Amino acid sequence: MALAKNKFYITTPIYYPSDRLHIGHAYSTVAADSLARFYRLKGYDVWFLTGSDEHGQKIERTARANEKTPLEYVDAIVATFQQLWEKLDISYNDFIRTTQERHKQVVQRIFQRLYDNGDIYKASYQGWYCTPCETFWTESRLVDGKCPDCGRPVELLQEESYFFRMSKYADRLLQYIEEHPDFIQPVSRRNEMTSFIKSGLEDLCVSRTTFNWGIPVPFDEKHVIYVWVDALTNYVSALGYGSADDSLYQKFWPADVHLVGKDIVRFHAVIWPIILMAAGLPLPRQIVGHGWVLLDSGKMSKSKGNVVDPLQLVEKYGSDAIRYYLLREIPFGADGLYSEEALVSRINQDLANDLGNLISRTMGMLDKYFAGEVLAPGALEGPDEELIALAKDTPLQVDALMERRELTAAVSALWKLVSRANKYVDETAPWALAKDPARRERLGTVLYNLAETLRFITILCGPFMPGLPAKVWDLLGIADRPDLHTWPSLTWGLLPSGIRVKRGPAIFPRIDATAALGVENR
């Protein structure tokens, strides 16, 4: 019997189609995609979900301001999401829209179940609502009368509403968090959540009557279901939970990682687990809260006019470069600053100088000295052992760091191997060996070691820069050897001798910073 493969289910937040996405949203999705691709590389059966969160008062108002129906409005914006993900090489398996019938049914079913179990009750609500954040606040949590999350004005709500007995589950959730130290990552976010829960959970208002753009409460159609309850349910509705074919749910739930920005960890680490507990479903294994991509001028916002459009950046610099930059420059888990200057400098330094040169020097020397042929390696000498040891160890390091969700550190570990290989070129000076016919075998060994190191680097770069491998395999002459592109093939020495490499155009051309950034940016 074939062994069942390990499974890995990862999700991104489903973004609001109230506006086009900016570089911060792209950051979340790129990070999730890199994890998804990494686990695929390791042979896991991966399910990667993204989508759009289309209901709620914010969308309804934005659509009206644009003189469109909500659905017309979101249809156009969701198309731009999908276009962006295609350009950024996002390998999602499914895209869920909360306006889809498959989603609505599951939300209603779960809501009904919570009601039937006595965890949802009707009462009159009086309190404050932040529409941009779609969040309820009690008076005591407001800061200077404004939303404590985004600082914008809140609106007084007085409605008859349904409430969810969150308070009843607070102790169970705290205990769960304590017993599962990896549940909320990084640790700083876990601590924030524990103190948030300890400060007292109030029952959550989970329905609204003052607007229509949402999923009706199944037993009281005057009410629409609170948009966060609707949105969070996407993670199981997309798997067909409770439907005639729930095979994806059976296979992939519970999720292995819900990757989200730190601003919405609270919804994922408090409200969502309690909904699941109340519905009798297993909890996700992990919520990873990453930091924010900030600009010199602060957080990106339309009103400040400082929104960075990822689509334009991809057109200008390419998907691999943008992905690399985001993962490398913003320390994963913490906040980091975005600037186009830093992006160009990373491209020129890390990609053009370090990796690009390693590739072109290796191919160039093989071409020049051996007409492109990779010779079988001979005895090891000098720095060979050190290079090989690092090449063998790097997959282990990258693996351990990815398991700990330390994406930036994983990319840095990989770049240590790139640097070590460049240093190896300087140490072994193949151009000097080439002058001495007696050292031909040594030259062959040095170039074999470089080509094999490059194979390791390329395999490990794939999850972060998915466009790169095909280009390198073509240059290395092993495009038709998929067995040499895999995780299990990260065994030193599998690169066969006798293959023919070729020179090609620079994979990462240097960017002329003055031209790229323009005068106003300098």
C-alpha dihedral, 78 to 36 to 416 to 333, nearest 10°? 70
Does the protein bind ligand ME8 through residue 13 (CB under 6 A)? Answer: yes
Give the integer Cα–Cα distance in Å for 398 and 148.
38
Give the distance, in angstroms, between the CA of residue 243 and the centroid of all CA atoms in the same chain.
Answer: 28
SS (H, E, C) 164-225: ECCHHHHHHHHHHHHHCCCCEECHHHHHHHHHHHHCCCCCEECEECCCCCCCEECCEEEEEE
- Does 408 bind ligand ME8 (CB under 6 A)? Our answer is no
503: Cβ contacts below 8 Å, ≥ 6 apart:
360, 363, 364, 367, 475
**20 touches ligand ME8 (CB under 6 A):** no
Q: What is the DSSP letter of 363?
A: H
Q: Contact between 232 and ligand ME8 (CB under 6 A)? A: yes
Task: Determine which helix (DSSP H) or strand (DSSP E) holds 343, and give its type and residue range.
Answer: helix 340-346
Select the span of 152-160, 193-201, 226-234, 311-319 touching ligand ME8 (CB under 6 A). Answer: 226-234
User: Quick one: which of 53, 54, 329, 452 contacts ligand ME8 (CB under 6 A)?
Assistant: 53
Cβ proximity to ligand ME8: between 136 and 292 the closer is 292
The whole-angstrom separation of Cα 169 and Cα 117 is 14
Secondary structure of 222-242 as H, E, C letters: EEEECHHHHHHCHHHHCCCCC
Element (H, E) at 446: helix 440-461
From 46, 120, 260, 410, residue interacting with ligand ME8 (rule: CB under 6 A): 260
- CB 23, min distance to ligand ME8, A: 7
One of 115, 125, 163, 292 touching ligand ME8 (CB under 6 A): 292
27 binds ligand ME8, rule: CB under 6 A: yes
State which of residues 8, 9, 10, 14 lies at the interface with ligand ME8 (CB under 6 A): 14
Looking at the Cβ atoms of 227 and 358, the one nearer to ligand ME8 is 227
Residue number, 24 or 463, with CB nearest to ligand ME8: 24
- 24 is a site residue for ligand ME8 (CB under 6 A): yes
Residue recorded with tokens 């092993």: 478
Task: Please report whether residue 263 would count as binding ligand ME8 according to CB under 6 A.
Answer: yes
Stretch of residues binding ligand ME8 (CB under 6 A), selected from 22-30, 244-252, 399-407, 481-489:
22-30
Across-strand partners of 130? Answer: 135
Q: What is the CA radius of gyration of the chain?
A: 26
How many residues belong to the site for ligand ME8 (CB under 6 A)?
A: 20
Work out whether the CA dihedral 268, 249, 21, 64 comes out positive or negative. negative
Burial 262-281 (b: 16+ CB within 10 A, else e): bbbbbbbbbbbbbbbbbbeb
Print burial letters for 190-224: b (CB count within 10 Å at least 16), e (below 16).
Answer: bebbbeebeeebebbbbbbbeeebbbbbbeeeebb
Task: Please identify, using beta-carbon distances, which residue of 102 and 299 lies nearer to ligand ME8.
Answer: 299
Our finding on whether 25 is near ligand ME8 (CB under 6 A) is: yes
- Give yes or no for residue 485 binding ligand ME8 (CB under 6 A): no
Residue 25 CB, shortest distance to ligand ME8, in Å, is 5
d(CA 409, CA 402): 9
DSSP string, 96-121: EETTSHHHHHHHHHHHHHHHHTT-EE
Minimal distance in Å, beta carbon 489 to ligand ME8? 34
Q: Which lies closer to ligand ME8 via its Cβ, residue 107 or residue 260?
A: 260
Minimum distance from CB of 14 to ligand ME8 (Å)?
A: 5
Closer to ligand ME8 by CB, 254 or 261: give it.
Answer: 261
- Would you give the binding string for ligand ME8 spanning residues 174-213, x where CB under 6 A is met? ----------------------------------------
Binding flag, residue 16, ligand ME8 (CB under 6 A): yes
Query: Is the distance from CB of 56 to CB of 98 less than 8 angstroms?
Result: no
Q: In whole angstroms, what is the distance from residue 147 CA to residue 126 CA?
A: 16
The residues near 116 (Cβ < 8 Å, ≥ 6 apart) are: none
| Cβ at position 24, least distance to ligand ME8 in Å | 2
Q: Please state, in angstroms and rounded to a whole number, the distance separating the CA atoms of residues 350 and 364.
A: 19
The CB-of-499 to ligand ME8 minimum distance in angstroms stands at: 43
Q: Which of 231, 236, 407, 433 binds ligand ME8 (CB under 6 A)?
A: 231
Stretch that binds ligand ME8, among 25-33, 142-150, 164-172, 455-463 (CB under 6 A): 25-33
| CB of 232 or CB of 414, closer to ligand ME8 | 232
Residue 375 and residue 447 in contact, taking contact as beta carbons nearer than 8 Å: yes
CB-CB contact of 59 with 74 (8 Å): yes
CB nearer ligand ME8, residue 291 or residue 430: 291
Q: Measured from the CB atom, is 269 or 300 closer to ligand ME8?
A: 300
Our finding on whether 264 is near ligand ME8 (CB under 6 A) is yes
Piece of 10-18, 144-152, 246-254, 374-382 that binds ligand ME8 (CB under 6 A): 10-18
Q: Tell me which stretch binds ligand ME8 (CB under 6 A): 42-50, 100-108, 255-263, 301-309.
A: 255-263
Cβ distance to ligand ME8 smaller for residue 238 or 425: 238
The residue among 28 and 453 lying less far from ligand ME8, judged by its C-beta, is: 28
Residues at the site binding ligand ME8, with contacts judged by CB under 6 A? 13-16, 24-25, 27-28, 53, 231-232, 234, 260-261, 263-264, 292-293, 299-300
